[in-house]
Amino acid sequence: MATHSAIAATSRGHFDEIGVKTPKPGSGEILLEVTFSSMVAWDTYVTDVGLVVEDYPVILGLNASGTVAEVGPGVTMLTVGEKITAFQPFGQDAKTALKEPMQQFVILSASQCAKVPDNVALEAAATVPDNFITSVYTLFDQLSLTIPTSFPASSPPPNAASPILVYGAGSTTGQYALQLLHVAGPTLTADVAHAVGGDGKVAYAVDCITAENTLARIAEVLSPQGTIALLIPIKTGDKVAVGEAPMYWELPATGNPFAAGTTIKYVRTFNYAQPNKVRLLDQGTFKERVAIGLDLLRE
């Protein structure tokens, strides 16, 4: 069987380039020749602290774009040679730990793939799946904002005047959230002081960073009856945790800065929004490029 290269966490705090077998797609699957795999904070959690890892090695990545190399039985919507972008949910056990897309070839369910239009570059398309889906789910499911009947919205939604704070709007998920809000109808402002409800506080908040210090800042401006969506896990301090720093899947009773009446939503998710700008890491070896990406995400 042919083999190819992948970047994987090989033990807690360590990653390396490894060789893996190039499999054949099964029923309903495709084999993707990966051109780009975008890096997200989750890659640092897996690499640095082994978050939810049961067995090593674990290939990194969640999102990928590239060319369909082979299709399995029953796949009719995709053909060899088509450009696609895709999302691969994180696998914890030995059977799925080698199926993430930070590798030259990856097996994907055809249902998790989307064709890339000719006017969208593959490097930009690789930022879409996980981050855009998270933004949609957070705004319209977890915060229960009104989904317009068309994009852009033909009329303001019922909650258009309800102030919404997107903390970490410069993150990839935050940028997509702003694009969605722009076409969904709510009024946007970059000034929290002008985005106040009847009690002088914001009604909705999304924390795209979700660290102890960001939660404390949001608590100062969120209405006691407001709703906040937290993109978990919850980190210590102000940035991505490394080493032995703990992370949480929900707020501990002794570390909750929000008022008792606040509704807290924990978000876990695995062509009017344009792909975000990318920082392309194209210098050095495969492993060296991933090392640079991990350091950027940690900071």
**Which residues of the chain, if any, have pLDDT below 70?**
90-97, 159-161, 186-200, 239-245, 269-276
Amino acid letter, residue 168:
G
Indicate the pTM of the whole model. Answer: 0.73
State residue 293's pLDDT score: 86
CATH architecture of the domain formed by 3-128+278-298: Alpha-Beta Complex (3.90)
At how many degrees (to 10) do helices 129-137 and 172-184 cross? 50
CB 129 within 8 A of CB 273: no
Beta bridge partners of 265: 229
Q: Where are the domains of the chain?
A: 3-128+278-298, 130-267
CA–CA separation, 148 and 85 (whole Å) = 25
Pick the CATH number of 130-267 from 3.40.50.2000, 3.40.50.2300, 3.40.50.720, 2.40.50.140: 3.40.50.720
pLDDT tens readout for residues 37-82: 988 888 988 898 888 888 899 999 989 999 999 999 999 999 999 9
